Structure 1
Amino acid sequence: MKFSLLTLFGALLFISCDSKEEVDLIIQNANIYTVDAAFSKASSMAVADGKIIAVSESNDLVNKYKSRKLWDLQGKTIVPGLIDAHCHFYGLGLTQQVVDLIGTKSFDEVLERVEAFQREKPSNFILGRGWDQNDWEVKEFPTKEKLDVMFPDTPMALERVDGHAYLVNQKALDLAGITEKTEIDGGELVKLDGKLTGVLVDNPMGLIDAVIPQPDKKTQIQALKDAEKLCVDYGLTTVNDAGLHRETIELIDSLQGSGDLNIRVYAMVSNTPENLDHYLTKGIVKTSKLNVRSVKVYGDGALGSRGAALRAPYSDKHDHFGAMVTPVDKIEELANRIAATAYQMNTHAIGDSANIVVLRAYKNALQGKEDRRWKVEHAQVISETDFDYFESGIIPSVQPTHATSDMYWAEDRLGPERVQGAYAFKKLLDKAGIVALGTDFPVEKVSPFLTFYAAVARQDLEKYPEGGFQMKDALTREETLRGMTIWAAYSNFEEDEKGSLEPGKMADFVVLSDDIMTMPVDGIPNLKAEKVYLGGQQVK
């Protein structure tokens, strides 16, 4: 009888275990921020077929599921896969192939880096990116004379950190056919005593672009792979690339399809006639890794290069207002054309003049249309009377590190009153109900932890300024994490598939080196993404 009872007990135990649903991964003893509607926490999570099957506040999922992978996190923090709502993913990869000028403290250092790079990797057309005269002791645009002496026969184009200005040498000017008599709207050929300095701001840059050799396919693929590695290392699982051409989008799709590129891409189509004619006719392109349903338009230039369009003159440059890159009537025409399709319009707007142009165009084009989720990219300087436009479903897509990069000179550009409407993330959130957060890399660094720190602390890494920059517009930690996950996903029409750790959603998540929600704020920039999962597969 004893033997029979033992046999029966064993059989029941076997049946009980066998009846459990098999999954690919069970996580226990974790500190999981689900970022659901209630911002609830969980301790365990089950993953199967690339999706989240269940989450629980306790470790009871092992009673329902079985897996060969049972992972005890011993209290480690998990957050949803991070989304960069505005960046230049392909551009980041391309910058890995050219002279890195980020962080240069003088024009002489720029020259040193260019010379060293050309010795190591000789090129018939020297390219570089990342200089910022605002970081130099002499905070004026550089001029081309030294470049002409060093490289008289090799054309060169060195892009400013924000992507809105070039410094080129005479050889490049000659190749592009640019002279003192060249005129082009929507920017500036910077001159000194009537002579070209070699600095081109905004639209004139296109004349140089036309003569820069295009990267071959091997270089393009390497650029995308390099960018993916940099992003995944920081826990980014989705990137919103703000401006891609058809051939690059199709290359990304091909690499994703072959398994050579895993990161998810929300592709904003660059505003060119060819791109628009193709995609607006074709309609939305959607796979599990690629989403093409928006158009990226440039309203104006950048504040750092004084290309942002302002209603009143720059406080530090008399009678200078910046410029619209895309004319007002063209923005209105584009808005009406895009509104007639399923596509989203995402427009770069920095200055208060550019922002009101874009906001009015959106309001007029979207009359009677529901849930279009059009975005203002940057929404950097807003007049007090214009914030209310964001109450109508327009989404501000902002980059917190711009505030901490610009804060040293922003008031010089804007004056003490106008700067109060700049980098106003909290006020934008209050009006719009959400903010989508990004970096604008490679204009800023890739790290989303710097984004988080800048949004919450509003300080640089030296804890300047004391008390934070315009703290009335700081975000809470919860708001910031939402802005980097579920709100960014919502802005992409993807909130039902990613952005939070809930059953049925993609198993995109990050294991952090510390608890981003409770750790000392000054330690956040040093956080690490220890493990990164994309679709249930570990990619770091």
Structure 2
Amino acid sequence: MKRIYSLLIGLSFLLLACNKKEPADLIVHNGLVYTVNSDFDQATAFAVKDGKFLEVNSNENILQKYSSSKTIDLEGQFVYPGLIDAHTHFYRYGTGLKVADLTGISSFQSLVETVKEHRKEHPDLAWILGRGWDQNLWPEKEFPEKSLLDKAFPDTPVLLTRIDGHAAIANQKALDLGGISANTSILGGKVILKIGQPTGVLIDNAIDQVSSKIPDITIDAARQALLDAQKNCFAVGLTTVVDAGLDKSTIDLIESMQQEGSLKMRVYAMINPTEKNKAHYFEKGPFQNESLTVRSFKIYGDGALGSRGASLLAPYHDAPNELGFLLNTPENFLSLAQEIHAHGFQMNTHCIGDSANRTLLDIYAKVLMGKNDQRWRIEHAQVVHPQDIQKFAKFNIIPSVQPTHATSDMYWAEDRLGHERIKHAYTYKDLMQQNGLIALGSDFPVENINPLFGFHAAIARQDDNNWPKGGFQPENSLTREQALKGMTIWAAYANFEEHLKGSIEKGKLADFIITKKDLMTAPEETLRDIKVQATFLGGEKVN
């Protein structure tokens, strides 16, 4: 009898142990979860503990196995991994929120009036700065001339940057401070002249000669810029941003703010290749934790197509005497590539024109020497000659592109390239097929920060008015699955972060977003209107 009693007690304890649920910090259930794992599986629930996904499974499994004081009933909503923007200027976007917004302005006269209004709001600033103008939106479609700025601001330096950041117009005061004259000659830059005198328009490296005279912002202003940028990014579902081109001081600030907890945004930082930066990071080596990855250098190969600074193999269709230009010599690019490779860093190079892409792809080939896992990247890969595209596969080079560039440029890109060469531009499907992946970003503030605009542009190849019908060069559109991977797991892979993020899987950081409408099935024309209902970072709601 005692033996039976003991057996019953043992069974009771066993049943209690079996029924005891494991503790979790958060349970999310009753939705459709796109895991973006290797099989692109779907689930309905998951549990989170210590900032990571504990298990991803069915509602029944998760609710029976885990308990938590924090539970979210999705009520049929949709979940995706936290979105990663593979190419941004996050810090510059934050600082730019305080300068004159010149995007979408339809004439230079209107631009000057906007700058005047901005000056009234900020009368004490030593410099007047602005960003976002695009001469392709103006009736004459030509670069401006500074006389109106000289008249409006004779004693205050003005520097207004084009939408792509590769051209700017300065007034005479700013030109004087930068030492710019008709005789100025700069490697990788150009001073636009008219009747032998500077018009005020500066291309690429020539901008630096003026912008270097702008006083540095205060540390408090820099901190606020990062926080402002973070808030706006969380609101649209971004949990990781790739900041393309930072100095050590800014990277140090980002790291310190992450450590204190004020900056939660995860950052993959590309380093500016200054001598000072190289000396520090070559000695320190690549660095990564859950919030920050520092293992690459951002190199500028050429300028932009819109300002005719992109380096082309044949002259511009609408400017037969211009080829654009590289921003450095091939010899210097090769030396830099060898240096970066020797110290174990990625080389991530801005290449727009087909000549720049060919030059840098061939330099990569000399250094990488065949198949590898170095994950060197070509940023933008905008115009690639058909003879060069296979080099991405041969040397495992990752294309990092921005789908909204195609839908922003499509109105005038053929003017620059001509009917035949335009077919070799914005070839996202062809690029993706080389290695079976592509990293997608926005290049904000050049484009809008909303990643769903890029998702729509990648699959529909249309603008915000769903034009043109059928899409711009639709043969190079991506599928929805490919586009989502490009914004999550493939972007993580391009960052050497796929073990940390990019999919909803056990052990990875619990970064995810929730939407009411399904990105994978909603009509294409509605995709840009879909709102992110909530953004979670490490299981914590941040928006």
2-structure distance, mates of 1:487, 1:28: 26
Residue 430 of structure 1: which of 423, 433, 437 is its match? 433
2:157 maps to what in 1?
155
Shift of the 225–17 alpha-carbon distance from structure 1 to 2, 3 Å rule, reads farther
Aligned partner of residue 302 in structure 1, secondary structure: coil
Shift of the 20–193 alpha-carbon distance from structure 1 to 2, 3 Å rule, reads same
Residue 519 of structure 2: which of 497, 516, 519 is its match? 516
2:531 maps to what in 1?
528
Which residues in structure 2 correspond to 1:247-258 (within 5 Å)? 247-258=249-260
Render the CA deviation track for 1:454-483: whole Å, top value 9, x for unaligned: 000001112211110000100000000000
1-structure distance, mates of 2:251, 2:407: 32
The alpha carbon displacement at 1:12 in A equals 6.5
- Identity, in percent, stands at 50
1-structure distance, mates of 2:272, 2:87: 14
Which residues in structure 2 correspond to 1:307-322 (within 5 Å)? 307-322=309-324
For the 8 Å contact 2:186–2:206, the answer to whether it is kept is yes
2-structure distance, mates of 1:459, 1:97: 30
1:464 maps to what in 2?
467
The alpha carbon displacement at 1:106 in A equals 1.3
Unmatched runs of 5 consecutive residues or more in structure 1: none
The alpha carbon displacement at 1:368 in A equals 6.0
1:109 maps to what in 2?
110
Deviates more, 1:190-199 or 1:54-63: 54-63
Structure 1 stretches of 4+ with a deviation exceeding 2 A read: 7-19
Residue 445 of structure 1: which of 426, 445, 448 is its match? 448
1-structure distance, mates of 2:372, 2:306: 36
Aligned partner of residue 387 in structure 2, secondary structure: helix
Deviates more, 1:62-71 or 1:294-303: 62-71
The alpha carbon displacement at 1:133 in A equals 0.6
Counterpart residue identity of residue 458, structure 1: R
2:36 maps to what in 1?
35
1:223 maps to what in 2?
225
Which residues in structure 2 correspond to 1:99-178 (within 5 Å)? 99-122=100-123, 123-178=125-180
For the 8 Å contact 2:187–2:328, the answer to whether it is kept is no
The alpha carbon displacement at 1:277 in A equals 1.3
1:288 aligns with 2:283: no
Give the structure-2-normalised TM-score: 0.96
1-structure distance, mates of 2:467, 2:275: 45
2:345 maps to what in 1?
343
Counterpart residue identity of residue 210, structure 1: S
1:395 aligns with 2:416: no
1:503 aligns with 2:478: no
Render the CA deviation track for 1:47-101: whole Å, top value 9, x for unaligned: 0000001011343211111111122101100000000000000010011011111
Counterpart residue identity of residue 451, structure 2: P
Counterpart residue identity of residue 292, structure 1: V
Render the CA deviation track for 1:276-320: whole Å, top value 9, x for unaligned: 111122101222101000000000000000000000000000210
Aligned partner of residue 385 in structure 1, secondary structure: coil
2-structure distance, mates of 1:533, 1:526: 20
The alpha carbon displacement at 1:513 in A equals 2.6
Aligned partner of residue 359 in structure 1, secondary structure: helix
2:423 maps to what in 1?
420
Deviates more, 1:427-436 or 1:81-90: 427-436
Render the CA deviation track for 1:106-142: whole Å, top value 9, x for unaligned: 1122112111111011122101111111112221111
Aligned partner of residue 383 in structure 1, secondary structure: coil
2:378 maps to what in 1?
376
Counterpart residue identity of residue 357, structure 1: T
Shift of the 98–337 alpha-carbon distance from structure 1 to 2, 3 Å rule, reads same
For the 8 Å contact 1:41–1:57, the answer to whether it is kept is no
Render the CA deviation track for 1:346-370: whole Å, top value 9, x for unaligned: 0000000000011001111012673
Residue 458 of structure 2: which of 415, 440, 455 is its match? 455
For the 8 Å contact 1:28–1:59, the answer to whether it is kept is no
The alpha carbon displacement at 1:538 in A equals 0.7
Render the CA deviation track for 1:195-239: whole Å, top value 9, x for unaligned: 110000001111112211111111111110111011110000000
Residue 356 of structure 2: which of 341, 344, 354 is its match? 354
1-structure distance, mates of 2:517, 2:499: 28
1:236 aligns with 2:210: no
1:203 maps to what in 2?
205
Aligned partner of residue 104 in structure 1, secondary structure: coil
2:274 maps to what in 1?
272
Shift of the 166–370 alpha-carbon distance from structure 1 to 2, 3 Å rule, reads same
2-structure distance, mates of 1:521, 1:341: 45
1:301 maps to what in 2?
303
Counterpart residue identity of residue 154, structure 1: T
2-structure distance, mates of 1:84, 1:538: 19
